[in-house]
Amino acid sequence: MTVALYTHRACLDHDPGSGHPESPLRLAAVLEALGADRFALLDRIEAPRATREQLARVHRQSLIAEILDAQGDPFRRLDPDTVVSPGSAEAALRAAGAVCAAVDGVVYGRQRRAFCAVRPPGHHATTQTAMGFCLFNNVAVGAAHAIAAHGLQRVAIVDFDVHHGNGTQDIFWTDPQVLYASTHQWPLYPHTGAKRETGAGNVFNVPLDPGADSAAFRAAYEDTLLPAIDRFAPELILVSAGFDAHRLDPLANLRLDETDFRWITERLVDLAERHAGGRLVSSLEGGYSLSALRLSSAAHVAALMD
């Protein structure tokens, strides 16, 4: 079975404005990297739109309407960092829809694993609030879809973005069917993700000090997070694949490189093979150095293909 790449050109049309770090150039850099010859065997699939029913499993109708139905000024600032432009609604629907379609693909056995090259990112979006560059929580929508549409009982979400996925944690805080595991820099936006934040025993946070390197990152997974996922025995692994923990990233201070992203991807593939029939879906989150994005996304997808 192949590895699939889900994306849509509409995801390039979300425009937060000149100088904003979450620019369309991010996705263009990822797609450029994944256009290399070594990725010729990827099954390239156009992402569908998420349905309102899929979105409403994790988001309130007020947020869905704010993103999809609002009239007036086509450029709206939802918070100091988060903007809606004329192309944002379609981009957000395709981003969330990509993860749901990828879940369908791996559950039905059409693909073994999948990477969703989409934007806007999602892991900061809560049940009722768009924030931190994120409109809908793409991975959370996908996890809820796996449970509601496919009857899965145990879904693990692994988030190695340098910023804590407060939205994902918030959405599944009391849901024992979803395990949330995160490494992230601490302190840093959004100032959540302390070790003591454990939800219903389904949340595992390992904060990393500014300047933490490969050794600290790998130890967090080997000592805490990978054993927790192994005990949970997920039927599906979802990955919030942020590459802003790379040493080149301008918005944070961790010291990883692309080999670390390949390493953690390999470990997660191993767990997916052990417990989930190989089923793993990853979705792009942060990463604001274009060169680091090219290197890291290529390393991540190469490990999915191996």
**Distance of alpha carbon 269 from alpha carbon 254, whole angstroms:** 24
Cis peptide before 120 (omega within 30 of 0): yes
Please give the helix or strand (H or E) that residue 273 lies within, else none.
Answer: helix 258-275
DSSP state of 110: S
- Taking residue 65's Cβ as centre, other Cβ atoms within 10 Å add up to 11
**Distance of alpha carbon 192 from alpha carbon 196, whole angstroms:** 10
C-alpha distances in Å from residue 49, one per residue of 14, 62, 138, 299: 15, 19, 12, 28
- Residue at 36: amino acid letter: A
**Distance of alpha carbon 184 from alpha carbon 206, whole angstroms:** 7
Q: Give catalytic status of residue 164 as yes or no.
A: no
- Taking residue 60's Cβ as centre, other Cβ atoms within 10 Å add up to 14
* Active-site choice (8, 14, 59, 124): 124
Spatial CB neighbours of 156, under 8 Å, sequence gap ≥ 6: 178, 179, 181, 229, 232, 234, 236, 237, 238, 271
φ, ψ for residue 69, nearest 5 deg: -115, -5
Q: Which two tokens stand for residue 189?
A: 């936006």
Contact 236, 103 (CB under 8 A): yes
Q: Which two tokens stand for residue 294?
A: 């090219």
Phi-psi label, residue 287: left if phi above 0, alpha if psi -120 to 50, beta otherwise? left
| 3-state secondary structure (DSSP) of residue 261 | helix
Which residues are catalytic, by number? 124
